[in-house]
């Protein structure tokens, strides 16, 4: 049996956009008879107590998951093994570039914006030794393609850039693009549902999955929740977390109702939403969510979508 997943970073409370994506991931998994797994991606950003708050919020809106919660910080041996496999196949090289180096090089004429220009790909042994004395190296994948195509349930066939991306940062922390691929592969996750801001990352990850012998998952990059100014919804936008909404008398059930309504689904329960769920009927535009103080006393929760 395959699996889908929700994989938040424990950097703070989940906001309504995060919870909406979690519900969508659950709906996609359950509607296709997959397990639904929860993974905490805590390699990079972790705030004390955030994981507990996130798990409590997911339960408060009625979500349940299969098996234990997995944490990336408990899986570093798996990432190390994958890096060593790639190294043994001569698929890695040391990179000493700073972000500024890469930004300046990728802004040159004819360069693909934001991609790695290959600066350190073919350094000699003596050049690498000299650079090691100045700064520690990151490890990059020696890609043999410039693009890779994936299939997305909502976006169709999508072809994106694959450059020599980082798999081990220069602080010896496994990079996101490696960790997420290893986690999905080993956990048997063959369905990835997440925000469409990550669509352009999918070709790199699918290419790496193929190199490591994992099944390339089916993707569904869903529309984001945006604030009234058209930017990604964030906690700074006001009453957008369950904790903030509770201060205005809005319950987790009412928040779930808002989310399901934004998806055009029945709002009485998650089970009712699951019975009616059809990916082809999902909104094709972002959910614009604004906090409206005038909503107080109208029967609508604070933050009702505009």
Residue 89 in marked binding region: no
One domain for residues 68 and 83: no
Residue range 278-288, pLDDT digits in tens:
999 999 999 99
CA 153 to chain centre: 16
Residue 95 in marked binding region: yes
One domain for residues 136 and 45: no
Listed residues 162, 191, 222: the one ending a domain? 222
One domain for residues 13 and 103: no
Looking at residue 291, its pLDDT comes to 63
Task: Please state at what angle helix 50-60 crosses helix 16-31, rounded to 10 degrees.
Answer: 60
One domain for residues 214 and 132: yes
Residue 194 in marked binding region: yes
Q: How far is CA 263 from CA 57, 75, 253, in A?
A: 19, 35, 15
State the total domains in the chain.
2
Residue 305 in marked binding region: no
One domain for residues 208 and 88: yes
Looking at residue 294, its pLDDT comes to 53
Name the percent of the chain lying above pLDDT 70.
92
pTM, two decimals, is 0.92
Looking at residue 109, its pLDDT comes to 59
Q: What is the rounded distance in angstroms from the CA atom of residue 258 to the CA atom of residue 260?
A: 6
Looking at residue 103, its pLDDT comes to 82
Whether residue 161 contacts residue 112, with contact meaning beta carbons closer than 8 Å, is answered with yes
Looking at residue 138, its pLDDT comes to 98
Determine, yes or no, domain membership for 109. Answer: yes
Residue 289 in marked binding region: no
One domain for residues 47 and 159: no
Listed residues 166, 193, 222: the one ending a domain? 222
CA 273 to chain centre: 23
Determine, yes or no, domain membership for 229. Answer: no
Looking at residue 267, its pLDDT comes to 97
Determine, yes or no, domain membership for 303. Answer: no
Residue 97 in marked binding region: yes
CATH number (domain holding residue 291): 3.40.50.620
Question: Which residue, among 205, 198, 247, 224, has the nearest Cα to 305 in the 3D structure?
Answer: 224
Determine, yes or no, domain membership for 301. Answer: no
Residue 253 in marked binding region: no
Determine, yes or no, domain membership for 51. Answer: yes
Looking at residue 229, its pLDDT comes to 83
Residue 41 in marked binding region: yes
One domain for residues 256 and 271: yes
Q: What is the rounded distance in angstroms from the CA atom of residue 47 to the CA atom of residue 181?
A: 24
Whether residue 161 contacts residue 149, with contact meaning beta carbons closer than 8 Å, is answered with no
Listed residues 200, 222, 244: the one ending a domain? 222
One domain for residues 140 and 188: yes
Domain range for 200 is 75-222
Residue 9 in marked binding region: yes
Determine, yes or no, domain membership for 306. Answer: no
Return the C-alpha torsion angle 110, 151, 1, 177, nearest 10. Answer: 10
Whether residue 62 contacts residue 68, with contact meaning beta carbons closer than 8 Å, is answered with no
pLDDT exceeds cutoff 70 at 108: no
Average pLDDT for 241-245: 93
Instruction: With cut-offs at 50, 70 and 90, classify the pLDDT of residue 237.
Output: confident
One domain for residues 65 and 16: yes
Determine, yes or no, domain membership for 305. Answer: no
Determine, yes or no, domain membership for 302. Answer: no
Looking at residue 111, its pLDDT comes to 60
One domain for residues 177 and 80: yes
pLDDT exceeds cutoff 60 at 293: no
Residue 113 in marked binding region: no
Average pLDDT for 162-166: 96
Asked which of 38-47, 152-161, 188-197, 229-238 is least confident by mean pLDDT, the reply is 229-238
Instruction: With cut-offs at 50, 70 and 90, classify the pLDDT of residue 298.
Output: very low
One domain for residues 107 and 165: yes
One domain for residues 64 and 83: no
């Amino acid at each position: 049996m395959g699996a889908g997943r929700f994989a938040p970073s424990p950097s703070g409370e989940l906001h309504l956009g995060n919870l909406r994506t979690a519900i969508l991931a659950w709906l996609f998994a359950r509607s296709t008879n997959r397990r639904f797994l929860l993974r905490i991606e805590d390699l990079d950003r972790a705030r004390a107590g955030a994981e507990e708050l996130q798990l409590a919020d997911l339960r408060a809106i009625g979500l349940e998951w299969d098996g234990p919660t997995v944490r990336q910080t408990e899986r570093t041996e798996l990432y190390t093994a994958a890096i060593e496999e790639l190294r043994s196949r001569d698929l890695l090289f040391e990179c000493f570039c700073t972000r500024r180096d890469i930004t300046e090089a990728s802004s040159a004429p004819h360069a693909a914006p934001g991609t790695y220009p290959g600066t350190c790909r073919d350094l000699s042994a003596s050049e690498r030794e000299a650079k090691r004395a100045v700064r520690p190296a990151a490890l990059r994948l020696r890609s043999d393609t410039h693009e890779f195509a994936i299939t997305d349930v909502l976006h169709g066939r999508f072809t994106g850039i694959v450059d020599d991306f980082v798999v081990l940062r220069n602080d010896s922390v496994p990079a996101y693009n490696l960790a997420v691929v290893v986690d999905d592969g080993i956990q048997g996750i063959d369905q990835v549902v997440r925000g469409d801001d990550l669509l352009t990352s999918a070709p790199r990850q699918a290419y790496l999955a193929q190199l490591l012998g994992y099944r390339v998952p089916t993707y569904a990059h869903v529309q984001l929740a945006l604030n009234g100014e058209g930017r990604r919804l964030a906690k700074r936008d006001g009453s957008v977390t369950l904790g903030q909404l509770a201060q205005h008398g809005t319950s987790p059930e009412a928040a779930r109702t808002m989310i399901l309504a934004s998806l055009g689904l029945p709002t009485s329960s998650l089970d009712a939403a699951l019975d009616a769920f059809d990916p082809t009927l999902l909104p094709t535009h972002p959910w614009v969510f604004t906090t409206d103080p005038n909503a107080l006393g109208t029967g609508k929760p604070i933050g009702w979508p505009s």
